[in-house]
Structure 1
């Protein structure tokens, strides 16, 4: 049995077990009562359960104090009920929704989402009202995708606010939103957003099917959910885009892509995505076409420089010193005259030192982290050269490689580049330049084998139509960008209404 077949069999077992559990719960027909809710929510100290007598009628009220504003609760529920004069609560509370008496699990889930549950035992009536209101982070500037030009707002951890940020930019009824509840313990809300009559229907259905089949205890971030939805989860390269900028997400929707937004996460996943798009920044469309094209070339070719620079140092000094000019070889020999280690160990040592400094700077407060990164790099680099642990030329090469690895705007792509750089260094120490080229061929073969939502990952590097080249490494002037990217397989190919099919 292959790994894919085994995984599918495990998912089928979980789905069948979950379905049988629901059937068993429904067969019991648990009636909603105040005593059963209190028993179910035992040891939940923020549960507020009160009983009121309004118009000679008993009303049991349940809500979580940490997720509800008491002032709003009084104004929207208690005050209207006091003035109802015995009328039907559904007429007095227009935003209330009825719950069947046997849907005990529905009432508990509503309570845990911040809703207020009202039980009218004399009427055999149960209502839920959305009174969820908690403090949340204000909309601020994006730190991961900072730009000089363009909008400066970013997504936050509230799903409703993130959807509203997109609604402000896309005031069209074609913007469709499908919400799902996933996670056996967390019950996270996930929104799938796309533009009707533009996004490909097969892509939309494929995403919906994958989300419906996800079986996991809960998701604390969009990056975790994304790994369970990608085509090739074992690859180090991200196959879905990840952004926390509403303008970037809006541009993806207009291009026929699909957005996945998770409640509690400030990122949105974009699918399908291609390899070259991981090197594109939202600022590319705010800059002039010539400047944007130059920056894209620098980011893309920086990938090959960072994986070949230090590994090339290892292979040349270990196996191919005759490839260097005599003057350069003399400089390298003098630089390594006091180093007792072979080049591969020397490079790995310095690369690990850079990684340690980087991780230490991230985990510490901002001002202290910047100081440690700068001072630590200077002190350790200088001391390593003086102690004979590394050559001064290697310090320069490792620093350049570390800087180049941060050029991609996508942080997950930067991490993938950092990982494969170690593979190039090790194989260069074992096989030299031949090993580098062998690893490079394997890298290209792996990238060509990847797909994003069934679409080849290397498009538009291998374009599905020639117009894709206008928005690839080369960003053409806006007047030439008439067609949407073919990797999204949009229902409407053109971005302009003139001559639309």
Structure 2
């Protein structure tokens, strides 16, 4: 679509071309933008005719709009026509593409003339990086507490009218504004309807963060595992939207809720797709198996020493018995004591100011660990195992998943103390049964294990090269329809 920057005589020629060939109406544009709540249609009566301006409020600052469009329309309309882009050929797809790019469309009813004004001015000053989902490779921006800013971060990456955003108000006292975002031609309508039904049933006085909403939407609120993904990274949210998922944004909350989600996707990081597939596969497998190692490492120590010492070679058993020769407690109490100390150090370091918290975490761990061994309260081997287990629990990119692994570990510790390896197997049976029966938005949480979709294995524990990863995830059950056509600019 070509543009001309000529004067009024040039604009008159363009006007006649548009009058002869354009059959586009405001109603047709409204129909295409239906379901996008930040799409604004404003009628302005000038001195000689009616003018309609169309734009996305999340991509344009009000001051910029007033200075570049509204004020010139009311005062110096000729200057606006000279500075604006006037398309020689107008098409509906071209107009929609300009709107999604953050431009303002100005339609003169009497002249039947469409012009485009560059007004793209999303809020940028408050957009910074994130410490909770940091990465070395890829975009470094993160969502903020502003709903409009978060919408603009998504729309900057997805310039497509198929991206729909519907606003709702929840919270009987706080009247918190949320926005349900999805790709209309990709999302599974059944998943979308489930989300809307869950939101309609929620009766809660107030929401300070979207994590409260996530707990109210869980299929199984008693489960320690997160059934929806929360992310503060716009690139991650866009990736899931393109896969057919539904995103929920909340005002005054930095995180964005993604649903449905699978168990394996809780171990993936957006950085995996920017890294080489070999490195990404190695790191992803490390996170996945690290989850199981962190819940069995210290329980296995209890099982072997308390119930099955014959499983270890004699020299190893001799070293273990020597290290805990003066420890007066049984292995299960010894492990529980050290696990609780680690939790106390972690919680204290989190609540304190940053510099003091880092000092407490490092110095406190060294001092307390050394003192506990010298006082014969715990063995030195257990100190190593607890430290490794604590590090493994933080491998998951999802912080809630890290908390879940620590909670499950205590169940394994108690089972190992009571029945040894048999107790651990019973705990494992419960864990797998729970994960296999858990659902996320009504779909199996353990996809691709159930239901089986072979293409999902290419992006589960391991990641194949991007060239071969073309199909969408089975849990999203995305539509197979094509994207709305967008006219290519010349």
Q: TM-score normalized by structure 1?
A: 0.71
- Matching of residue 381 in structure 1 with residue 369 in structure 2: yes
Q: How do residues 20-169 of structure 1 correspond to structure 2 at under 5 angstroms? A: 138-169=126-157
- Aligned with 2:457: secondary structure? helix
Cα deviation per residue 1:298-348 (whole Å; 9 max; x = unaligned)?
Answer: 000001111100000011100000001101000000000010000000000
Q: Which residue of 2 aligns with 1:54?
A: none
How far the C-alpha of 1:462 sits from its partner, in A, is 3.9
Describe the superposition over 1:142-174 as per-residue Cα deviations: whole angstroms up to 9, x where unpaired.
Answer: 111000000000000000000000000000000
State the 1:465 CA deviation: 1.5
Aligned to 2:279, the other structure's residue is in SS state helix
Report if the CA contact (8 A) 1:181-1:189 is conserved. yes
Which residue in the other structure is 2:403 paired with?
415
Measured in 2, the distance between the counterparts of 1:415 and 1:262 equals 23
Alignment of 1:37-436 (within 5 A): 138-436=126-424
Instruction: Report the CA distance between 1:365 and its aligned residue.
Output: 1.1
What SS is found at the alignment partner of 2:315?
A: helix
Aligned 8 A contact 2:188 2:244 in 1: yes
Q: Contact conserved, 1:316 with 1:432, CA < 8 A, in 2?
A: yes
Tell me if the contact between 1:255 and 1:488 (Cα under 8 Å) persists in the aligned partners.
yes
Work out whether residues 181 and 187 of structure 1, in 8 Å CA contact, stay in contact via their aligned partners in 2. Answer: yes
CA distance in 2, matches of 1:238, 1:494: 32
Task: Give per-residue Cα distances to partners, 1:185-230, cap 9 Å, x unaligned.
Answer: 1000011000011000010111011111110001111111001112
Report the alpha carbon displacement of residue 494 of structure 1 after superposing the two structures with TM.
9.4
Q: 1:137, 1:156 within 8 Å by CA — same for their partners in 2?
A: no
Establish whether residue 444 from structure 1 lines up as the match of residue 432 from structure 2: yes
Q: Report deviation, 1:493.
A: 8.2
Tell me by how many angstroms 1:464 deviates. 3.0
Q: Aligned partners of 2:288 and 2:482: how far apart in 1? A: 27
How big is each residue's C-alpha offset from its partner over 1:433-481, in whole Å with a ceiling of 9 and x where there is no partner? Answer: 1000100010000000000011100012445321111111110111111
How far apart, in 1, do the equivalents of 2:451 and 2:192 lie? Answer: 22
Give aligned pairs, total: 369
Change (3 A) 1:365 1:137: farther
Stretches (4+) displaced over 6 A: none
Segments of 5+ residues of structure 2 without an aligned counterpart are: 1-61, 75-122, 486-490
TM-score in terms of structure 2 length: 0.73
Distance 2:193 2:177 in 1: 18
* DSSP-derived class of the 2:168 partner: strand
Contact kept, 8 Å, 2:185 with 2:481, in 1: the verdict is no
1:289 and 1:494, CA in 2 relative to 1: closer, same or farther beyond 3 A? farther
Partner of residue 461 from structure 2, selected from 473, 490, 493 = 473
CA distance in 2 between partners of 1:438 and 1:493 (Å): 46
Higher relative contact order (CA 8 A, sep 6+): 2
Alignment partners' CA distance in 2, 1:385 and 1:250:
50
Q: Which runs of 5+ in 1 are unaligned?
A: 1-70, 84-134
